A and B are shown apart, each in its own frame.
Chain A
């Protein structure tokens, strides 16, 4: 089944951190998305990628990590023992230890908001649509369409280039 997740278009990110603040509000003061400034004034948000073959789900000894109907990797807090295994295997370093509750914490694609038919807060708030929530293949197809349109537009403007035979 096609899976919905958050697509990140870093060329549109203006590093306003609205996603972090929104996530923090929805998750009781803890933001699960982080914006990295990879070059001065240029940044990119990174949250859990909810991997297809998620190593965190595979190593979890208590089956606290599972996949919900939208394909999001969710942590069941009552089962978590805080062994950090998910954090060790995650290549992005996403799961964090919540020292107060002694369990792990990670992005759940705003399960409580999806239940009400709303988007995850980060994607909903992103002022420039650098974060888009949707079905992966559709987003990619849309991107391809835009790129093709732009290329055709450009070649129309360029003199002496014929579109025939392209």
Chain B
């Protein structure tokens, strides 16, 4: 019996909070706050409810403990690891011989950098760039948009800069609910006298703390941002010197925002013109300002342009390359930044070298010792359609749950059914496993060690706090075994022979410029982590980017001139409401972990659709009634909550329990992100029986896997 306090990183959101897990002989008993570690992202060891409940999901009764093979759809038999690895390797080899682009790999933003590096290495060494992960569904437009303007797709600053800012503009981001510990810095800045401007279609908990609240219609972000830029330029509040010396394309911006007068913007967005003028003045004259955003800005068919405009707004005010300034896209998963850096993306190599760039490709061909494909691969949503066309025949899904998380889930399920071969690697049964041929039991993040990158580019080492249940294995072990079985059994970077996560991180150090100095030894010695870029072992890490120049080829910020576009689907006579999706603070994404945590499940047991009182009265709906929300793609039964938090004509539905059967998978042309945040819908009141009937047709959030003998 030995009680240990193990320093880990929280397995939930992108804030990357440190905490200690108290464990006895590998059995997790509880947690302790990490107030004793200086310089961490959660100052004084603060944690949100999910962080407080991290031990509960580890002890879930239905954790996967043995590899499973499907006899028929949804019915499994237990097999050994050897059999599982052998079968997967053989099938992968067979598809590769034919055409490697028939396989699609999914990385995972909830596991460490190392397995993400390995999965994209496996995909690329097999000859395909078909590798993607859930960043496609959340921040792919941030990566592409920020790269277009500033040259790199990451948060430019850290939480300390938010704390030191004089104005914080929060757009499309329910900061208080999605990143409660990060919101601490907004509250601290506010206490110091900073102004908080919140733009959101819904009156959120974040809005409650705002000095200025702009309630615009879902999908009207471009008009709102253009309106703010219009006022700033008209009143000459922009930073002339910064624009002259460090930006290009300002004249086009002036021309493009000409027609976005406060009066015009009021018509399009529904925000009173006085508020637009006040917000613009407050933002531009503060001296130090930060813009933060999340899904509300990115999940649109014009998400790429939204992000470019937000970056433009920041740049013309001169809020770049200084302390207390910057743009902060808030990442959803604890390692989504890392998974992007490791290039679990179809168009980049590790460190954001384009796969189409012959120089970068030559480097990795030499490094991995195999010829590589120069064609960008398929993205998550495109892959589902490629199955329809017979182009993709096999999926390897590492820790993802596309049945709940992808837009237009009915189509996703329909596509997965057609797959010839699908491997799902996860810690608990998910609805996606219904379609799997092989299910691999993975060790949870806390049962495993590795490096992890939070939203502020802070790379931290998380230690192993508990023993994995049964035969569950670390993600990196599983992928490296498959790599070896496929035939990549050379030593060093040319193969998949690894003894530990450290070995893999050393290989990452060697091929990823941003991570060059972030060695396992340094990370283990420095629990607060290191912010990339860190080009050498004696480099202290970089707190904010772009001090002297931007990372674009000419070193300047490329300002965006963008016209307002409507969302792909707007309300009409048949579907008169706007549907938008929301989240709860105590539930997390596809709820696989949070719905297995008793203390969270108790407090956030079910979703409630928010509907405005006037709309509710017309439909005869009262709080607590069952309704069915319908779109052109699906039906979703849910109980109603009548509230003035949403605008008239808008229905807001939490998506943790599978509301993505409703959402639209129309894609942004640049970043290929689906428009999950806006679509047209209708609602009607139903009896409880009818609602239950509709619910039975939907995939269960917490499914039971049927394991049969023989």
Contact = CB atoms under 8 A, between A and B. Distances in A.
Contacts of A14: 176-177, 180, 183, 205, 208-209, 585
Contacts of B191: 146
B286 to A, nearest CB: 13
A109 to B, nearest CB: 16
A14 B95 CA distance: 51
Interface in A9-29: 12, 14-18, 20-22, 24-25, 29
Interface in B39-88: 42, 44-49, 51-53, 55
B645 A127 contact: no
A143 to B, nearest CB: 11
Contact of B193 (A15, A40, A129, A150): A150
Contacts of A17: 49, 585-586, 603
Interface in A105-154: 118, 124-129, 146, 150, 153
Interface stretch (B28-36, B120-128, B442-450): B28-36
Contacts of A126: 46
Interface size class of A (residues with CB under 8 A): 20 to 34
Interface string B626-657: 00000000000000000111000000000000
A124 B35 contact: yes
Contacts of B643: 40
A127 B205 contact: no
Contacts of A29: 598-599
B334 interface: no
Given A16-B585, A25-B599, A129-B187, A41 B52 contact: no
Given A14-B180, A18-B49, A129-B187, A25 B208 contact: no
A17 B30 CA distance: 18
A139 B498 CA distance: 54
A42 interface: yes
B53 A20 contact: no
Contacts of A18: 47-49, 51-52, 180
A12 B176 CA distance: 11
A155 B207 CA distance: 27
A41 B203 contact: yes
A40 B623 CA distance: 14
Interface string B410-426: 00000000000000000
Nearest to A128: B187
Given A125-B52, A127-B180, A41 B207 contact: yes
Nearest to A35: B603
Contacts of B31: 25
B162 interface: no
A40 B613 CA distance: 14
A127 B46 contact: yes
B522 interface: no
Contacts of B455: none
Interface string B203-236: 1110111000000000000000000000000000
A16 B187 contact: no
Contacts of A20: 49, 599, 603
Contacts of A15: 205, 585
Contacts of A150: 193
A124 B51 CA distance: 13
A58 to B, nearest CB: 34
Contacts of B204: 41
Contact of B181 (A22, A127, A153): A127
B33 A125 contact: yes
B645 A21 contact: no
Contacts of B51: 18, 125
A125 B46 contact: yes
A12 B645 CA distance: 20
B107 to A, nearest CB: 29
B48 A25 contact: no
B381 interface: no
B330 to A, nearest CB: 14
A12 B31 CA distance: 25
Given A14-B180, A16-B180, A21-B52, 5 more contacts: A14-B183, A17-B586, A25-B55, A127-B42, A129-B187
Interface of B: 30-31, 33, 35, 42, 44-49, 51-53, 55, 176-177, 180-181, 183-184, 187, 191, 193, 203-205, 207-209, 585-586, 598-600, 603, 643-645
5 contacts: A16-B177, A24-B599, A25-B30, A41-B205, A128-B180
